[in-house]
């Protein structure tokens, strides 16, 4: 069985993001909010415990947004972790808001972006944000779609000049938008949908790796067919691991610039996710897992 002692998660190596050497297996705070990422958590004490356990286990990269809740996850992070460890990198995102019906809505006007940055600062209890990802909505929020990025990034670049943001990233974007963005400001990370079977960004990941830019995939188990998930479960069973652990281990193996932010509201699941850094995938398992992407 896989060892779930997470004290050595740095075995997966580190990557420099935002001027800090961060461990490649981090934590995403999205699931700390209520159902549908809306409202308060069912168990606030449990949410606080998860955040503190993540830091105690060596996590030094947390991904969040003030539109999770809204405001909920950032307020939980502040309550649980402030004053923050010196090596902790908190990455947030702007560009969206929540409707009263819990809907996800674009919010990318200059006024909305400036307000979002100040909301993140206030709710996290920070004077400056380490990294802010500009989240584009593309195909109605479901997938990237070509379009200009200059207006949004110019606003963030101005806030960066004011000293409110240290570094800027992009989320839900195409390769062309990354290149367009890099002509406006330095882009330190890209956050897109990518996993074993959703591999449209293969070329982008390799290009970013060559440039020293981090790639942060979301939905590590999203978009699997029943056949594909069945094959993943079979491999996981053979290795004495969970499907999520195998999917995360494959992503760590895929490229050195991939940083992971699996989220959970459970300490037990957090321990399982972090233990994926210790999972060694044998050659035949890697070959089978690579084949899942070809069958997508």
| 252 pLDDT above the threshold of 50 | yes
| Chain-centroid distance, C-alpha 225 | 23
Give me the helix-helix angle, 202-211 and 175-182, nearest 10°: 20
Closest C-alpha to 48, from 22, 20, 82: 82
The reported pTM is: 0.94
215 as an active site residue: the answer is no
Model pLDDT, residue 296: 52
The sign one gets for the Cα dihedral 107, 129, 179, 210 is: negative
Q: Which of 27, 68, 84, 215 is catalytic?
A: 68
Q: Yes or no: is domain 13-225+256-280 CATH 3.20.20.100?
A: yes
> Structural domain boundaries of the chain?
13-225+256-280
Distance CA 164, CA 245 (A): 36
Question: pLDDT (tens digit, 9 = 90+) per residue, 188-229?
Answer: 999 999 999 999 999 999 999 999 999 999 999 888 999 899
Phi and psi of 147, rounded to 5°? 170, 165
Strand-pairing partners, residue 170, are 134, 190
Strand-pairing partners, residue 16, are 21
Instruction: Please report which helix (H) or strand (E) contains residue 131, including its range.
Output: strand 129-135
Question: pLDDT (tens digit, 9 = 90+) per residue, 112-159?
Answer: 999 999 999 999 999 999 999 999 999 887 899 999 999 999 999 999
| 7 pLDDT above the threshold of 90 | no
């Amino acid at each position: 069985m896989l060892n779930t002692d997470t004290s050595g998660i740095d075995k997966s190596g580190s990557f420099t993001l935002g001027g800090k050497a961060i461990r490649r297996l981090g934590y995403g705070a999205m699931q700390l909010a209520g159902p549908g990422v809306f409202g308060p958590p069912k168990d606030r004490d449990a949410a606080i415990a998860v955040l503190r356990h993540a830091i105690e286990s060596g996590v030094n990269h947390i991904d969040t947004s003030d539109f999770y809740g809204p405001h909920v996850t950032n307020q939980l992070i502040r309550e649980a972790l402030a004053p923050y460890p010196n090596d902790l990198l908190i990455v947030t995102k702007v560009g969206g808001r929540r409707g009263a019906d819990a809907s996800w809505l674009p919010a990318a006007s200059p006024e909305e972006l400036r307000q979002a940055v100040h909301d993140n600062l206030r709710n996290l209890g920070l004077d400056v944000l380490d990294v802010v990802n500009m989240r584009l909505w593309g195909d109605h929020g479901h997938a990237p779609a070509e379009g200009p990025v200059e207006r949004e990034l110019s606003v963030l670049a101005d806030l960066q000049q004011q000293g409110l943001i240290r570094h800027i990233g992009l989320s839900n974007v195409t390769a062309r938008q990354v290149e367009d963005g890099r002509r406006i400001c330095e882009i330190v990370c890209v956050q897109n949908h990518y996993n074993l079977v959703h591999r449209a960004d293969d070329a982008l990941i390799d290009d970013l790796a060559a440039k020293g830019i981090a790639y942060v995939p979301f939905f590590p188990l999203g978009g699997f067919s029943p056949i594909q998930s069945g094959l993943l479960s079979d491999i996981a069973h053979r290795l004495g691991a969970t499907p999520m652990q195998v999917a995360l281990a494959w992503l760590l193996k895929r490229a050195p610039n991939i940083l992971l932010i699996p989220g959970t509201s459970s300490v037990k699941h957090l321990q399982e996710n972090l233990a994926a850094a210790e999972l060694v995938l044998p050659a035949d398992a890697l070959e089978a897992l690579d084949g899942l992407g070809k069958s997508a």
